[in-house]
């Protein structure tokens, strides 16, 4: 397309050599990474993509034929695309339980919020214990920690004691508590560099829900 | 579950007041955000979740009945869960085109890599122009920019000139070029706080592919 992408023979040889070195290093690295285990995965931070990424992993599991489950801790009132998709197409391989009653500033009732969070956590425990499930997504559970509705020490203790060895558990939401980050195997933190809300654009289907 | 979550009447009143304030602020904010437009969305950074999040948004679109499309620029050789799922269940609503030939350190052939990236970009342009598509995911396109296989100025120019107004385009991959970040509406940067590779755990289905 542009001159900068014309490739000379010398350029090509240099490229092949460099890529061969990268490949050798990568192959060496991969031979030392042979373990398999169920991971505790956390997606946190203020940026967009925490829930979408959790749902993306759930869709991967479904694509591989791995039974899995989702508990939504907060977004109960949203008619989300993910929820509709899972309920319509994949009820046999993926359970979805919507336990939250909407954002806590909508209910304005702390007792009701705590009861909802505790019920969601009981359901989550049940799904994690089920040996058939290969991945369980606890969507927006970090919000329940943030408001003190659930105790992270209790949740981390349960994962350590009762999560089957090969089951992946994915926990999302901003402000993941330090106890959870300490206990996790994989933690991603999503920062927002730019957001369309700042330009007066509202939440849109497909993007935000 | 613990004493800290016992709720007194005073506590409850304070909570309701605080949440009512948050709700009022949020409702005010939402009334100023009434615009709708097709967004240019970038997921970048070294952390995990860029591609999963893109696929999560594609699954949301499918859940809402919005036609969409995916072009994979790099991971051509991986038999991914996403690809299998889309091809098996949703061929009518979501096209997926796997154009890359594997990571560039696998091919070690710069001419072939450039040809693959250019073919992928031509396919992407065609899918973005198609007015039916509400979202187009260009998975790992940033890798093609990084190696100089595609020119970000050309891609950004195309999006500005030819992207239909309501179409969302999602571009993923680490090292997003500054021209793209400048042009985007929504940019998330994913940092890695912890990665299981460091504990000798290999890439696993559902999590990594």
Partner residue opposite B194 with nearest CB, options A55, A187, A191: A187
- Binned at pLDDT 50, 70 and 90, residue B198 comes out as low
Amino acid A2: pLDDT: 44
pLDDT of B44 > 70? The answer is: yes
pLDDT at position A3: 47
Are the beta carbons of B56 and A82 separated by less than 8 Å? yes
Is the pLDDT higher at A134 or at B84? Answer: A134
For residue B114, give both structure tokens: 């450039």
Of B22, B47, B149, which is closest to A188 when you measure between CB atoms? Answer: B47
pLDDT for residue A205: 82
Closest CB to A89 among B39, B61, B89: B89
**pLDDT tens for residues B140-155?**
999 999 989 999 999 9
Give the end-to-end CA distance of chain A in Å, rounded to a whole number: 38
Residues forming a β-bridge with A98: A72
Taking only the tens place, the pLDDT of each residue in A189-200 is 999 888 776 666
Closest CA to A207 of B80, B129, B136: B136
Q: Which of B50-64, B98-112, B178-192 is predicted least confidently?
A: B98-112
pLDDT band at A207 (very low <50, low <70, confident <90, very high): confident
Cα–Cα nearest to B128, from B164, B104, B103, B160 = B164
Chain A residues within 8 A of B13 when measuring between CB atoms? none
The three-point CA angle A93-B90-A205 to 5° equals 90
Q: Could you tell me which residues come within 8 angstroms of residue A20 by beta carbon, excluding any fewer than 6 positions away?
A: B105, B108
Residues 6+ apart with CB under 8 A from B131: B164, B167
- Listed in sequence order, the residues at least 6 apart from B31 whose beta carbon sits closer than 8 Å to its beta carbon are none
Q: What is the mean pLDDT of residues A58-64?
A: 92
Span A121-126, mean pLDDT?
98
Closest-CA residue of A relative to B106 is: A23
Cβ contact A200–B48 (<8 Å): no
Q: B191 and A195 in contact by Cβ < 8 A?
A: no
Greatest mean pLDDT among A44-53, A143-152, B191-200? A143-152
Nearest to B108 among A16, A39, A82 (CB): A16
**Which of B11, B81, B111 lies at the smallest CB-CB distance from A64?**
B81
Residues of B in contact with A78 (CB under 8 A): none
Residue A67 has pLDDT above 90, yes or no: yes
Dihedral over alpha carbons A147, A150, A154, A157 (to 10 degrees): -80
pLDDT at residue A102, as a whole number: 59
Higher pLDDT, A165 or A29: A165
Say how many CA atoms lie within 13 Å of B45 toward its Cβ.
Answer: 23
Q: Please check the confidence at residue A126 and state whether its pLDDT lies above 90.
A: yes
Partnered with residue A172 across adjacent β-strands are: A43
**Greater model confidence, B208 or A132:** A132
Mutate to test the interface with B, among A28, A172, A189 (most CBs of B within 10 A): A189
- Whether the pLDDT of residue A150 is over 70: the answer is yes
Residues of A in contact with B41 (CB under 8 A): 207
Could B82 and A61 be called an inter-chain contact, meaning their C-beta atoms sit closer than 8 Å?
no
Dist CA B16 CA A149 (whole Å) = 15
User: Are residues B186 and B42 in contact, defined by beta-carbon separation less than 8 angstroms?
Assistant: yes
For chain B, give the longest Cα–Cα distance: 71
ipTM: 0.75
Cα separation, A84 vs A9, whole angstroms: 53
Q: Tell me which of B51 and B136 has the higher pLDDT.
A: B136
Percent of chain B with pLDDT over 70: 87
DSSP state of B79: -
**Confidence band for A109, pLDDT divided at 50, 70 and 90:** confident
Cα–Cα distance for residue pair B59/B79, rounded to 1 Å: 18
- pLDDT above 90 coverage of chain B, percent: 55
pLDDT attached to residue A132? 96
Q: Residue B1 pLDDT > 50, yes or no?
A: no
- Partner-chain contact A56 B61, CB within 8 Å: no
| Residue predicted with more confidence, A111 or B189 | B189
- Which of A13-22, B18-27, B94-103, B113-122: highest mean pLDDT? B113-122
Of A67 and B206, more confident: A67
pLDDT of residue B32 exceeding 70: no
The lowest-confidence range among A53-62, A163-172, B27-36 is B27-36
How many angstroms away from the CA of B91 is the closest CA of chain A? 14
Return the pLDDT at B45.
93
Domains of chain A, each with CATH number or no CATH: 37-199 (3.40.50.300)
Residue with the larger pLDDT of the pair B32 and A39: A39
């Amino acid at each position: 397309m542009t001159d900068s992408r014309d490739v000379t023979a010398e350029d090509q040889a240099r490229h092949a050599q460099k890529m061969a070195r990268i490949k050798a290093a990568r192959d060496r690295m991969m031979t030392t990474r042979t373990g398999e285990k169920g991971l505790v995965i956390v997606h946190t931070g203020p940026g967009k993509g925490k829930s979408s990424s959790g749902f993306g992993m759930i869709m991967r599991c479904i694509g591989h034929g791995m039974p899995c489950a989702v508990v939504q801790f907060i977004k109960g009132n949203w008619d989300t695309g993910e929820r509709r998709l899972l309920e319509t197409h994949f009820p046999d391989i993926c359970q979805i339980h919507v336990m939250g009653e909407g954002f806590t500033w909508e209910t304005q009732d702390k007792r009701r919020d705590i009861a909802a969070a505790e019920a969601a956590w009981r359901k989550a425990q049940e799904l994690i214990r089920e040996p058939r499930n290969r991945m369980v997504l606890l969507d927006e559970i970090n919000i329940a920690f943030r408001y003190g509705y659930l105790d992270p020490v209790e949740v981390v203790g349960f994962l350590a004691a009762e999560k089957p060895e090969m089951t992946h558990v994915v926990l999302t939401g901003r402000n993941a508590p330090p106890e959870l980050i300490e206990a996790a195997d994989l933690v991603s933190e999503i920062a927002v560099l730019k957001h369309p809300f700042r330009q007066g654009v509202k939440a849109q289907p497909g993007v935000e829900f």
